[in-house]
Amino acid sequence: EAGVTQFPSHSVIEKGQTVTLRCDPISGHDNLYWYRRVMGKEIKFLLHFVKESKQDESGMPNNRFLAERTGGTYSTLKVQPAELEDSGVYFCASSAQGYEQYFGPGTRLTVT
């Protein structure tokens, strides 16, 4: 069974540009989460989808971040326009209801 996959693994963009991160959860997992680790800090929650609906987006830093999960399958996280402080590693995780979360390998975003 394929695990959670994320694309790209690494992205380097300039301040002001747009970047879109993609997450493909484990098939059949209704829950999809986005998290972020900024250098030197603990991993922080961004948002939680249940199927295609946003269950909790309390961790989204500001309106430069837009997450979607069309059809309840894969999800995208768009940052527009990117700022220096958006640099970090973005993790996606998925789970079946009430069960452990399975993490993707992460996307390392560097904004210069």
Partner 1 sequence: KNEVEQSPQNLTAQEGEFITINCSYSVGISALHWLQQHPGGGIVSLFMLSSGKKKHGRLIATINIQEKHSSLHITASHPRDSAVYICAVSGPNTDKLIFGTGTRLQVFP
Of 62, 63, 70, 100, the one binding partner 1 by CB under 8 A: 100
Our CB check for partner 1 shows the closer of 82 and 91 to be 91
Cα–Cα distance measured from residue 38 to residue 109, given in angstroms and rounded to the nearest whole number: 10
Cα–Cα distance measured from residue 56 to residue 11, given in angstroms and rounded to the nearest whole number: 26
User: What's the min distance (Å) between Cβ of 14 and partner 1?
Assistant: 26
Instruction: Map residues 12-41 to x or -, x wherever contact with partner 1 holds by CB under 8 A.
Output: -------------------x-x-x-----x
Of 25, 48, 69, 88, the one binding partner 1 by CB under 8 A: 48
State yes or no: residue 106 binds partner 1 (CB under 8 A): yes
Query: Are the CB atoms for 72 and 30 separated by under 8 Å?
Result: yes
DSSP 36-86: EE-TTS-EEEEEEEETTEEEE-TT--STTEEEE-GGGS-EEEEESS--GGG
User: What's the min distance (Å) between Cβ of 37 and partner 1?
Assistant: 8
User: What's the min distance (Å) between Cβ of 93 and partner 1?
Assistant: 8
Cα–Cα distance measured from residue 42 to residue 5, given in angstroms and rounded to the nearest whole number: 22
What are the residues binding partner 1 (CB under 8 A)? Answer: 31, 33, 35, 41-45, 48, 56, 59, 91, 93, 95, 98-106
